[in-house]
Every structure is written in C-alpha cells, then in structure tokens.
Amino acid sequence: MLQILIIAVGLSLDAFAVSICEGLVMKPIIHCRAVLIALFFGGFQALMPVVGWFFGRWFINFIEPAAPWITFVLFLVIGGKMIIDGFRAKDREIKETDNDFHIKKLLILSLATSVDALVAGVTLGFLSVRILPAVTLIGGVTFLFSLSGVYLGHLIGMKLHKAATVTGGIVLVLIGIQIVLEHIGLFP
C-alpha cells in the first residue's frame, strides 16, 4: 500500500495544481463547488486506473502516444482562456457567477488531469494489484489534494485576483508544455 500511496500522491499533483487555479478565480468561496471539483478530480483519478486495468495493453498502445498531446491542448485552451480573462478583468471586486462555472469545463479538466492515471491502471494490472483498494486510495488522496488546492487558490486569489487568474492560466499552460517536453525527451 505504501507504493500505491506514492503513486496516488504523484497522480494527484496535476489535479492539485489545477484545483489551485480553480480556487484562484472563485469569488466568493463556494464550498459545494470546492467539494464538487474535488469529487470530479478524485472520481476521475479513481475511474481511469480501473479503465486502464481492464483494457490493458490494447488501450494503452492506442492512447499513450497521444495522451501528452491531448493533455497539452486541453491545458493550453483552458489556461489561455484564464490568461485572457485575467487581462480583461476590471480592477473592481469580481464576483463569480453561475455562468462562470461550467460542468463541461470541469469534465475536461478532470479528464486531462487523469490521463496519466489511465496508464497507471495498466501498470497496476500487470503488477496484479488489488484494484479496488488501490483506486480507493488514489481517488481519496486526489480528493483531499484537490479540495485543499481549491481553498489554497482561493486564499491567494482573494488578495490578487487579476494577477492570480493570469498566473493560474500560465501554470496550466506550463504544465501542458512540461508534459509534452517530458514526452519528447527534452525534460527529465
């Protein structure tokens, strides 16, 4: 279980970073949304290893070469939008409205941050790991990291909304670039 815990922490770091970005723009803090974000990220991080575990080598051969590029494009689009929104923001107090929060965006972010969990699921299948306890731990750790990330992002964003929104977008774009650079071997 220690190895699974280490895997869970590693898998949850992307979701943690994206959760911070989501918290940066949440004005005021909406607790049920924070929990919903954490549930989506934790749920996808738990679901994707199961999919990888079931589909094994066939699925991984199909998705693995494209996974970094898919993640990069998703992060580039969402991060780019955050950067543009940050520069367009007025200096006055900005309140988040229901129109600013979209389940579709949350689904895309959840999928983008959990592609590596799909690959991990294939590995777990090869290692003959009991999948239910493993994915429960992975999902639970990601839930906790994501929830804390939203609140941490909100605390930062309360002080520096405009700069925090732009920074959050830049972070997403940089994560996407890092994933692609690792994939092509230019970043260790």
Task: Using alpha carbons, select from 35, 52, 41, 40 the residue that is nearest to residue 12.
Answer: 41
How does pLDDT run along the chain (188 residues), one tens digit per residue? 787 888 888 888 888 988 988 888 787 888 999 999 999 999 999 999 998 888 765 666 676 677 778 777 877 877 777 678 777 765 444 444 444 567 888 998 898 888 878 878 877 776 677 889 999 999 999 999 999 999 999 888 776 766 766 776 787 788 778 878 888 888 76
Structure tokens at 143: 């839930």
Evaluated on CA atoms 145, 147, 152, 154, the torsion sign reads: positive
pLDDT of residue 97: 45
For 147, the domain range is 2-184
pLDDT of residue 164: 64
CA 70 – CA 175 distance, rounded (Å): 12
Q: For the chain, what is the domain count?
A: 1
Determine how many CB atoms are found less than 10 A away from the CB of residue 81: 13
Determine how many CB atoms are found less than 10 A away from the CB of residue 27: 17
CA-to-CA separations, 182 to 25, 48, 55, 159, 169, in angstroms, rounded: 29, 21, 25, 34, 20
pLDDT of residue 73: 80
- Its pTM stands at 0.71
